Chains A and B, each alone.
Chain A
Amino acid sequence: MYSILVRELEKLLGSSSVLSRQEDLVLYEYDGSVEKGRPDVVVFPTSTEHVSGIVKLAAKHNVPIVGRGAGTGLSGGALARTGGVMIVFARMNRILALDPENQRAVVQPGVVNSELTRAAEPYGLYFAPDPSSQKSCTIGGNVAENAGGPHTLAYGVTSNHVTALELVLPDGEVVRIGSAQGDAPGYDLTGLFVGSEGTLALVTEITVKLSCKPEAIKTLLAIYDSVDDAAETVVDITGRAITPSACEMLDGWTLRTVEDFVHAGFPRDSAAVLLLEVEGLAEAVAAQAATITEVCNAHHAREVRVARDNTERELLWKGRKNAFGALGRLAPNNYVLDGVIPRTKLPQTLRRIQEIGKQYGFDIGNIFHAGDGNLHPIVLYDPRDKAQFERALKASSEIIRYCVEVGGALTGEHGVGMEKSELMPLLFSDVDFDLMRRVHDAFNPNCALNPGKIFPLGKGCGEIRLRPRPEKAGARK
């Protein structure tokens, strides 16, 4: 089947845009998660017409399709769980229009997040969603997962910045939804499709809002001898109605690892640091920074440093955004979780995470978006040790369950994907799934797009048959 399809895809796209050899495909069986799923064919379209043509060919051969940006997601959302055709949007990477006057840009899905900000910078503008992977992740991927980032605390996640989309539906039809200005008559389709994890349509063009760069920014590093004190500070900042543009936390174990790698200036002997940022008019920034310092001191911060200049600010952020890379030095692999809790539950949840770590024999680090309760506990493991990997999965599942128990949710910015699909019943009933499935089936009735994602097996696309594979340590079945 695939040999005919490959020939037809090569005819449509050219042979340099189609990969089908196993040694090529193996590169696409990973993303940022601990999951694996190898596609049978990988294609690189350069236009909406290409994508529509690919979708029609896949439909003709009854083969599933998975869209992929840069593969930086943490939930397995961009993996071919049941094989099929993987559409990699890397070559659809043009900024189609930049409209500074109206603060809009139109981009193809393969545009790298930070590239858009770089293009907008000369006009005093930027693209607000800033995932830690912003130097490599694509805006198409951001749209699929409704990505966040440190500054979403003040500026919202991707859906708050997308006004219109061009979609390719599973039958190849091209549809435009939303409008450049925002409000469009009828239902808020853009609000639904952003974050639908590629299960309803493939996105081929995105209209986004750009934000104005603030007049002033102050970045503060609050240093603590106790994780509890740092966590209580976050609760108090929120309670006092201060909205910093970012409020990130690194615990001692994590910051030492980061410091050894990045030399960002995090004190190695501290138990936790908060990286806080305030933006806006100079007058507002000065007042907020003073109040935040006061709150930090009230919670026994050992020291509150203010970045003296942009270089120091960038270094602190480099430490935060390269943290996951730094952790790669400690173990062959790491499992980065993505759970959300009400912010007031932060201290008790951090304590519970440590208990779970002890129970399963792991040091669990925490580096996360504290201001909006979006946790990223990190479990280091060796994928060659199957028993250890199983323990890592169990510990991770227990942490996410605890997030739900205290009133939180399964994911704050990386999506459900295949990683958390089986945990969805913790939040949703069969009735909820039934409605979600009807919405899913309205667009993707044959499960041609990204099968095996979001829904627990058996509740979404019927009983998806997972393709038998040779047993691999570190790969979930």
Chain B
Amino acid sequence: MSSIVNFASRLESAIGGSHVIADPAVCAEYAVDEITPSAVAKPTSAGQAAETVRFAALEKLALIPCGNRTKLGIGMPPTRYDLALDMTGLNQIAHYDPGDLTLSVDAGTNFNEFAVPLYNQKQFLPLSVPFYFESTIGGIIASGVDSSLRHSYGTARDFLIGAEFVDGTGRLCKSGGRVVKNVTGYDLHKLLIGSIGTLAVITRLNFRTFPAAPASRGFVASFPSLEDALAFRSLVEASPLRPSSIELVSPPLLQLFLEAEKNAAEPPLSPLHEKFPNDSWHLCVSVEGTPEVCDRATREFEKLAASLEAKKMQLTILGENEGADLWHYIGQAIPLLLESCPSAAIFKITLLPNRMSALLSQLRALAGQASLDHVTLARSCGVVYFALLPRTDDANSFDRLGQAASAIFALCTKENASATLPWCPTAMKRRVNVWGTRRTDFAVQHKLKFAFDPQNLFAPGRLTLNA
């Protein structure tokens, strides 16, 4: 205990007493996979964050940077964890130039804090990722989560244009800049996306922002069969339309949305209840543009629907406000799943789109064999979120969950798909590596980690790929 007190007090001397917390109750709030740090540092400047890292390097302390801790469970349990580095004290918009469509924001800034000024300028960042409303921008980038808008706007690697960060030697570095096109030097900032705090402590991020479309419209095509829904997806992709999102929602996932709607504190803008048929797969498509573009999309969808009359398809057209809640629930499907089933194991699988049908069938079969409930959210561009939901928390359920997880990783390897398990109970991580099966680029990844963080201070063990 005395050494902990000593390191906390020494850290207080380094960055100031008000920035260090050693209260065990507070530290417990920063636990990662049941491992609790001995202290929490809350810097309010990049300089203090760098000072904290230098202190950790000197004292050989392992630290995990965090924001609002909504996605800290992603990754393997840390092998060491002495200090939590809470970055929420760095929370300013450093630069926003609507004319240039560029934004520079401190890592600890809450999503809503910069979303509002962007909204006021009719601009936005396409990062409506899981938990976004309570996330910091640093957490969103470090966790590498995606949103349904990746279909047309890409992922963060397509619009993150620069970053400032503290490396493992405790020095403040930068990469990229604040212009939308820039190939000066190595794109080190791209490495921070999805690095879950293992490479550096992000202090500031620069983005290209996007103009908001003047109008949008939603189209939900509901089918009794998965195959028909996927076939319709192909028709939409082959049409001249360029939707902003195409998401496939499985029947039980829609039920979860309806439950959430029923339990919501505020009444829905336009209730989803009774809009869509039960026991159907729902292909949810969003189109953005001028009202004329939205009208054209309506005509195209009606034409496609007419050609599929024999497939018992139901087409629901949603105006801008009518679709808002559905898109919100799709964006927050993962938080909803975790809330309804905290021991859920949620895979993220990426694959070529034309392999989706075969893979989804096999995934469902595996879940069925293990007697586990399951839900699917699939992005048309080739991303599948597949959740296994144990009905009880007993050992038997847990065993079946573990076996199914191993089988899913093996299946994905066979099908040339990349699978990870970003959300699952900590105990599960003792049975499977959440980063999936063997990768041939392990040595390259390891070299990079060492270049950024030579002493392995940052979140050791959390991103451990199978060699």
Contact = CB atoms under 8 A, between A and B. Distances in A.
A181 B418 contact: yes
Contact of A415 (B183, B193, B416, B449): B183
B378 interface: no
Interface in A157-173: 157, 159-160
B19 interface: no
B448 A189 contact: yes
Contacts of B292: 283-284, 286-287
A282 B258 CA distance: 37
Contacts of B448: 187, 189, 192, 439, 442
Given A102-B354, A192-B190, A241-B212, A157 B293 contact: no
Interface string B446-463: 011111101000000001
A267 interface: no
Given A192-B186, A238-B100, A182 B179 contact: no
Contacts of B157: 159-160, 188, 191
B435 A181 contact: no
Interface string A172-207: 000111011111111111011011100000000000
Contact of B179 (A102, A176, A408, A435): A408
Nearest to A241: B211
B89 interface: no
Interface in B172-201: 172-175, 177-188, 190-191, 193-195, 199
A214 B242 CA distance: 9
Interface residues of A, number: 83
Given A104-B352, A183-B418, A184-B418, A343 B465 contact: no
A411 B97 contact: no
B270 interface: no
B221 interface: no
Contacts of A410: 184
B100 A439 contact: no
Contacts of A343: 99-100, 180
Interface size bracket, B side: 35 or more
A192 B191 contact: yes
A72 to B, nearest CB: 15
Interface stretch (A7-15, A22-30, A309-317, A368-376): A368-376
A91 B363 CA distance: 43
Interface stretch (B30-38, B108-116, B308-316, B436-444): B436-444
Q: Give chain B's interface secondary structure class.
A: loop
A432 B181 contact: no
A215 B162 CA distance: 34
Contact of A175 (B173, B352, B444): B444
A407 interface: yes
A182 B382 contact: yes
A280 interface: yes
Given A181-B382, A185-B418, A441-B451, A428 B185 contact: yes
A233 B353 CA distance: 41
Contacts of A353: none
A432 B382 contact: no
Interface string A393-431: 000000000000001111111111000100010011101
Contacts of A280: 242, 289, 293
Contact of A145 (B97, B173, B180, B183): B183
A283 B296 contact: yes
A443 B449 CA distance: 12
Given A102-B354, A283-B293, A439-B448, A454 B241 contact: no
B98 A239 contact: yes
A439 B172 CA distance: 16
Interface string A361-394: 0000000010011100000000000000000000
Contact of A431 (B154, B171, B240, B295): B171
B435 A186 contact: yes
B92 interface: no
A230 to B, nearest CB: 17
A341 B293 CA distance: 33
A435 B173 contact: yes
Contact of B172 (A188, A241, A283, A431): A431
Q: Which of B173, B183, B296, B383 has the most CB of A within 10 A?
A: B183
Interface string A133-164: 00000000000011010001000110110000
B86 interface: no
Contact of B97 (A157, A179, A344): A344
A187 B439 contact: no
A145 B101 CA distance: 24
Contacts of B350: 179, 181-184
Nearest to B189: A191
A432 B185 CA distance: 10
Contacts of B382: 102, 181-182
Contacts of A65: none
B282 to A, nearest CB: 23
B42 to A, nearest CB: 24
B441 to A, nearest CB: 5
A214 to B, nearest CB: 8
Contact of B293 (A281, A412, A432): A281
Interface in B258-297: 289-290, 292-293, 295-296
A438 interface: yes
B289 A284 contact: yes
A176 B441 contact: yes
Nearest to B241: A281
B122 interface: yes
B177 A188 contact: no
A156 B188 contact: no
B417 interface: yes
A416 B184 CA distance: 6
A99 interface: yes
Contact of B188 (A194, A283, A411, A436): A436
A215 B175 CA distance: 38
Among B241, B420, B441, chain A packs the most CB atoms within 10 A around the CB of B441
A235 interface: yes
Contact of B181 (A102, A175, A373, A443): A373
A192 B184 contact: no
A441 to B, nearest CB: 7
B190 A342 contact: no
Contacts of A326: none
A183 B296 CA distance: 33
Contacts of A429: 174
A420 B183 CA distance: 12
A146 B176 CA distance: 13
Interface string B219-245: 000000000000000000000111000
Given A181-B350, A181-B352, A192-B187, A187 B445 contact: yes
A184 B419 CA distance: 8
B190 A243 contact: no
A463 interface: no
A195 B155 CA distance: 18
Contacts of B101: 238
A310 to B, nearest CB: 18
B68 interface: no
A429 B174 CA distance: 9
Contact of A188 (B98, B182, B193, B451): B193
A188 B160 CA distance: 13
Given A101-B354, A175-B444, A235 B99 contact: yes
A177 B296 CA distance: 41
B256 to A, nearest CB: 24
Given A185-B436, A187-B199, A187-B463, 8 more contacts: A182-B381, A238-B99, A283-B290, A407-B178, A409-B179, A415-B183, A427-B185, A442-B450
9 contacts: A175-B440, A182-B155, A189-B445, A212-B242, A342-B178, A410-B184, A416-B184, A431-B172, A439-B186
Interface of B: 97-102, 122-123, 146, 154-155, 157-158, 167, 171-175, 177-188, 190-191, 193-195, 199, 211-212, 240-242, 289-290, 292-293, 295-296, 348, 350-354, 381-383, 416-418, 420, 435-436, 439-441, 443-445, 447-452, 454, 463, 465
